[in-house]
Copies of this chain bind each other. A is one copy, B any other.
Amino acid sequence: MAVTLKEVAAKAGVSRSAVSRTFTAGASVSAKTRSKVEEAARELGYTPSLIARSLATNRTELIGLVANNFQNPIFLEVFDLYTQALQERGLRPLIVNLTNETDPDASVQMLRQYRVDGVVVATSTLPVDFANAFAGANVPVVHAFGRHGEASKIPVVGIDNKACGALAAETLLQRNYRSIAVLGGPQSATSTIDRIAGFKDRMSAAGQPVADIRYASNYSYYAGREAMHSLLSEKSVDVVFCGDDLICMGAMDAARSRGLKIPGDIGFLGFNDMDMASWESYALTTIRQPTGDIIQASIDLISAMVSKPDGQHPSRLFDCTVVERKTLKPVSTS
């Protein structure tokens, strides 16, 4: 059906190797042959088959991208950046939607079947079997947005969640908030656990209690709203540190629907700085996670691991920063 190497070779009056070489960078071809081949290829509308090439070279230029947060808009940014950054490097993402139903084994299996050169897992929690499954098959894996310092050998690119939790506490303490609550992401997520740990450490260092800690059932607006309603029906607090902007927006709407003014009656501090955080109806003060840097670094890392499997490939952590908008009262200058 499609035009093949052989046909181009015949038309150009050269060998198949010659054609192959004109299409592989850095191979030795004379200018004359090259132009003959290129002309023939153009006339025939030849497109080299990456499938065949992959088979011969044992490289597919395919990177598995595993994710499970298809509900959270932050992931759209992640997607956008990944697909573009990979495209720029001549790589292609093969996406796995790791929803709760599909079992991880099947996904591992399918990525191995396609002989992906490497895998980037972009979920805060990495199923442990994943690591082993790919390690067993000698496929490099990078864990983006993952937990640092795990026993696992898989390099991580992300943030220091404990430090970010501490930064959040610091931010609230500076403003003299007294009754401080935490509304985290799913309780089982390592990112949640670490952030809250960092948060509590900083609070107790300042001799302050944490008024309430609870968890949204998932990273969604609705989960945030529901958890916040449940919190407010039990007690009143001055400020809430949320584990995710989306959760925070849900929480804000819950507070507003109970007649509370933001930031007058209650303050909110988000996490991520997703695009929507700047929308006027929310104008969320939030801890910014440098998504772009993390993604760029994780692609750099996986590329390096693919080309130098035996090299050193250390984890990389980035700093978070506070983005000031309108959901917290100003820093106390007393």
Contact = CB atoms under 8 A, between A and B. Distances in A.
Given A80-B70, A115-B50, A97 B92 contact: no
A138 B1 contact: yes
B280 A48 contact: no
Contacts of A282: 281
Contacts of A30: none
A45 interface: yes
B70 A73 contact: no
B50 A114 contact: yes
Contacts of A92: 94-95, 110, 114
Interface string A295-325: 0000000000000000000000000000000
A87 interface: yes
A249 interface: yes
Interface in A68-103: 70-73, 75-76, 79-80, 83-84, 87, 92-97, 99, 102
B70 A79 contact: yes
A136 to B, nearest CB: 7
A109 interface: yes
In the assembly, how many copies of this chain are there? 2
Chain A interface bracket (under 10, 10 to 19, 20 to 34, 35 or more):
35 or more
Nearest to A133: B45
Contact of A47 (B79, B84, B113): B113
B115 A45 contact: no
A1 B58 contact: yes
A221 interface: yes
Nearest to A90: B110
A52 B50 contact: no
9 contacts: A47-B137, A50-B115, A51-B54, A72-B76, A73-B76, A76-B76, A76-B79, A80-B97, A221-B279
Given A47-B113, A221-B279, 18 more contacts: A1-B138, A2-B115, A45-B137, A47-B109, A49-B55, A49-B115, A52-B55, A70-B83, A71-B76, A71-B80, A87-B96, A87-B97, A221-B275, A225-B280, A252-B281, A256-B280, A276-B276, A281-B282
7 smallest CB-CB distances across A and B, nearest first, come from A70-B80, A83-B97, A253-B280, A50-B113, A281-B281, A47-B112, A73-B73
